[in-house]
A = this chain, B = another copy of it.
Amino acid sequence: MEFTVEQIAFMLNGEVKGDKSLKVSQLAKIEEGTEGTISFLANLKYEQYLYTTKASAVIVDKSFEPKKEYSPTLILVENAYTAFTTLLQEYQKLIAGSKKGIEQPSFISESSTLGGNHYVGAFAYIGNNVTIGENVKIYPHAYIGDNVKVGDNSTIYAGVKIYEGCVVGNHCTVHANAVIGADGFGFAPQSDGTYQTIPQLGNVVLEDHVSIGANTCIDRATMGSTVIKVGAKIDNLVQVAHNVEVGKNTVIAAQTGISGSSKIGENCMIGGQVGIAGHLQIANRTIITAQSGISKNIKKEGTVLSGSPAVENTENLRSHVLYRKLPTIEQRLREVENKLK
């Protein structure tokens, strides 16, 4: 897709300073701009790049006054950052919007219903009694098991597997090869050392505005539901075990694992590679730094935790600083011992 600078300025309600007929086809950071790209300058820390960038056009604040010569055409707007974000979103809509209709071969059970303005990619599989809302995109190789519900405006990317009976809300995004609703890890030890499988008969519920990363696993509940609440954002390769609840607007970075039945509060921020033990309660607005291990309930809202097993972050930092100094501490102790001999 190619646009003239004039077309873009019109869309952003901006004013052009320079060659209006220049064509741009891609977006770029100002320091990485090349011919045919459009960029923006919002933070004056990056002003230097305006004078060297090879971008064809740069969006700037109306109020901005250049101090040196520059080559790009400028688009003057009220707020360059906001305008550029608008541009990013429009660009993404254009790309995504091109996917429409049902590609063949695909497998759609006659007992399922599909809302309007849909995309179903080739080799997508939609099982029995599935209900799919309006404006939903289901990419190739996605598997939607029997009795699954998918709300409006959601996107299920290539290769996602959603097991029987799970529920996906409105405005959700599930990235490629994520697995929603596989059996929870439940095995009862027998007296002869073997394990008996405990049937996992619950499901997974993703509420509205939930985002799930690539290759992430959300296991179905033993009974009842594993729930990811409205607005929660989960990164790639995350493990969410059976009967877990992830609170509203909580953000979880890549490769974190949450063990069975733990309840994570609202607006928590959980770093990458964190481990959370089973059957815990984590208060709202808890912040957990990367690689921490949580082994106890967190009752106080807004606590910052680190370490494995994790404690309050400033406490952990104090211990850690002294851990690094252990050779000196041991040396000081030896000197004291020598004096006392």
- Which residues of A approach B to under 8 Å, CB–CB? 27-29, 32, 85, 88-89, 91-92, 95, 103, 105, 107, 121-123, 125, 139-141, 143, 145, 157-159, 161, 163-164, 173, 175-177, 179, 182-183, 185, 187, 193-195, 197-199, 201, 209, 211, 213-215, 217, 219, 223-224, 231, 233, 235-237, 239, 241, 248-249, 251, 253-255, 257, 259, 266-267, 272-273, 275, 277, 290-291, 293, 308-309, 311, 315, 318-320, 322-327, 329-330, 332-333, 336-337, 339-340
Contacts and interface: CB of A to CB of B under 8 A. Distances in A.
A182 B255 contact: no
21 contacts: A29-B224, A92-B201, A95-B164, A123-B125, A125-B140, A141-B143, A141-B159, A161-B214, A173-B183, A179-B215, A179-B236, A185-B233, A185-B235, A185-B236, A193-B231, A253-B259, A272-B275, A315-B324, A322-B326, A325-B330, A340-B340
A182 B211 CA distance: 12
A28 B329 CA distance: 54
Given A139-B143, A143-B159, A223 B32 contact: yes
Tell me which of A107, A257, A267, A309 has the highest count of chain B C-beta atoms within 10 A of its own C-beta. Answer: A257
A319 B328 CA distance: 10
A97 B198 CA distance: 17
Nearest to A200: B92
Contact of A254 (B185, B318, B339): B185
Nearest to A236: B217
B319 A291 contact: no
A122 B140 contact: no
Contacts of A194: 209, 231, 249
A300 to B, nearest CB: 18
Nearest to A93: B199
B290 A182 contact: no
A267 B193 contact: yes
B272 A273 contact: no
A79 to B, nearest CB: 14
A179 B209 CA distance: 22
Contacts of A89: 199
A156 to B, nearest CB: 12
A185 B217 contact: no
Contacts of A326: 318-319, 322-323
A176 B179 contact: yes
Contact of A92 (B125, B159, B199): B199
B333 A340 contact: no
Contact of A125 (B122, B173, B239, B315): B122
Given A122-B125, A159-B161, 6 more contacts: A28-B223, A29-B223, A237-B239, A255-B255, A273-B275, A319-B323
Contacts of A248: 193
